[in-house]
Structure 1
């Protein structure tokens, strides 16, 4: 049985053209270690670990048309039923539920605004074994231009309780699990409206955040390792954050909790 509630972010992975280069970058940046042997039958999918606990996945691109990007997965107890609800709520199923050996069942979908996400029905692979600790997942948000359709989509699909964040210059909403009081303290993920800071050609997307103890230092280290600082460190309601790109162009964010 999965230990993540329905709709909770339960896994994240990055699709890369050069798996070895990705292991070098993330291994140095976050002190990750990796599967000693990746199975050819699963496309050499590689699990990353921090202190022996599973924190993320690295995927070798099989097709050059695939984006070099991080992806997020939401937990479900029934992938087939969830994909049906996705279509009924106005989303689109890109890849129907597929059994991944003994590990679980996955599907890929897009919300009404076009942001792509995965769903995961756990088998032997339950998802993250470490979260909100250094070098592990801590947050995700969907960047969209269509909140009028996207907000009710996720709130009806998973029963999320939404609350707008009172902060100037951004249109941001947090989502808490069904039955929880809304707010930052209980939130699982967020929604951000893409404004002028986003290039018009950038599609709606999810941004994955990894927890760090030193946001500024991590950003500098990412640049030293061949990555890029897309948005320099800034202090926010949630903590100090920076948006980075790895040495192959996949974007992610880092978050340092502030006292």
Structure 2
């Protein structure tokens, strides 16, 4: 378990989910990840922070009854100036849908989408610096942008200053099998972009995928089903991990992953 502090600009620092049934959703994630909950900033409406051992790991809020928006996990990228970042997003052909606005003494936030429509948040930390712990069961450990191709990475380079690193070619010297880039901040990997072409889900379009660490991927996938969710991609072996893609009872999709320990 590693505790985190204030992140460098461009680094994912928080994940949040907006749902219709807040109580039912809390029960699902409490049973799956062992989360407990505490009230969040009242400015955000009905909103709770998920806790592990008293440390904040994620947020869940209730959508207004008249808002029929897709239910999805949203990563927030750190910034030192939410207003300047919002202007940079607009200048780079992105869209700012909410904010920037003040979340009490916690910080300043905005919700935006990139040029291909993938939604993400922007967080300027004050009292709340973001996810307080990672690397243990129930904590977000990675975020990946899934799009038709990786050209959208240029938007993040312009807005957040990300560096990019291509997937390493295959061992036989041929081209990389996947259209995939790693986003780096100060030379450190912080997220990835994967181009899937025509395999992009038609019902979701380009989107950010949040990965949560679990103790046992197979057991966690089975537990998702028992709790009323579903398995979209069954457990399988990835690069140094075992992972599965699942959805909660309201349809929010996320990946559960057991990272191999050296």
User: Counterpart of 2:239?
Assistant: 237
Q: Is the 8 A contact 1:113 1:146 kept in 2?
A: no
Counterpart-to-counterpart distance in 2, 1:129 and 1:104: 15
Unaligned runs of 5+ in 2: 171-175
Out of 75, 78, 82, the position equivalent to 1:75 is 78
- 2:178 corresponds to 1:170: yes
TM-superposed deviation, 1:41: 4.9
How far did residue 222 of structure 1 move?
A: 0.6
8 Å contact 1:113–1:145 — kept in the other structure?
A: no
CA distance in 2, matches of 1:201, 1:229: 16
RMSD between aligned alpha carbons? 1.8
Shift of 1:176: 1.3
**Following the alignment from structure 1 to structure 2, what is the Cα–Cα distance between the partners of residues 234 and 14?**
26
Unaligned runs of 5+ in 1: 181-185
TM-score (norm 1): 0.90
Call closer, same or farther: CA 1:155–1:73 in 2, change over 3 Å: same
Report the Cα distance in structure 1 between the residues aligned to 2:49 and 2:203, rounded to whole angstroms.
Answer: 32
- Aligned match of 1:128: 131
1:102 paired to 2:105: yes
Query: Which structure 1 residue ranges, 4+ long, deviate > 6 Å from structure 2?
Result: none
| Aligned residue in 2 for 1:151 | 153
Relative to structure 2, which stretch is displaced further, 194-203 or 48-57?
194-203
Residues paired across the two proteins, number: 250
Q: Aligned equivalents of 1:53 and 1:136: distance in 2? A: 10
Q: Secondary structure at the residue paired with 1:24? A: helix
Matched residue, 1:183: none
Task: Supply the distance in 2 between the matched residues of 1:109 and 1:20 (Cα, whole angstroms).
Answer: 26
TM-score normalised by length of structure 2: 0.89
Structure 1 position 39, deviation (Å): 6.3
Greater CA deviation, 204-213 or 59-68?
59-68
For residues 99 and 40 of structure 1, what CA distance do their matches in structure 2 show?
Answer: 11
Question: Could you tell me whether the CA contact under 8 Å between 2:200 and 2:206 is conserved in 1?
Answer: no
Q: Which has the higher strand share?
A: 2
Shift of 1:224: 0.8
Distance in 1 (alpha carbons) for counterparts of 2:70 and 2:153: 25
Separation in 1, partners of 2:37, 2:117: 32
Distance 1:121 1:39 in 2: 15
> What is the CA distance between 1:203 and its match in structure 2?
1.4
| Gap change, CA 1:206 and 1:254, over 3 Å in 2 | same
In the TM superposition, residue 66 of structure 1 has moved relative to its aligned partner by 2.0
- Structure 1 residue 173, shift from structure 2 partner: 1.0
Q: What is the CA–CA distance in structure 2 between the aligned matches of 1:225 and 1:169, rounded to whole Å?
A: 36
CA contact (8 A) 2:147 2:197 kept: no
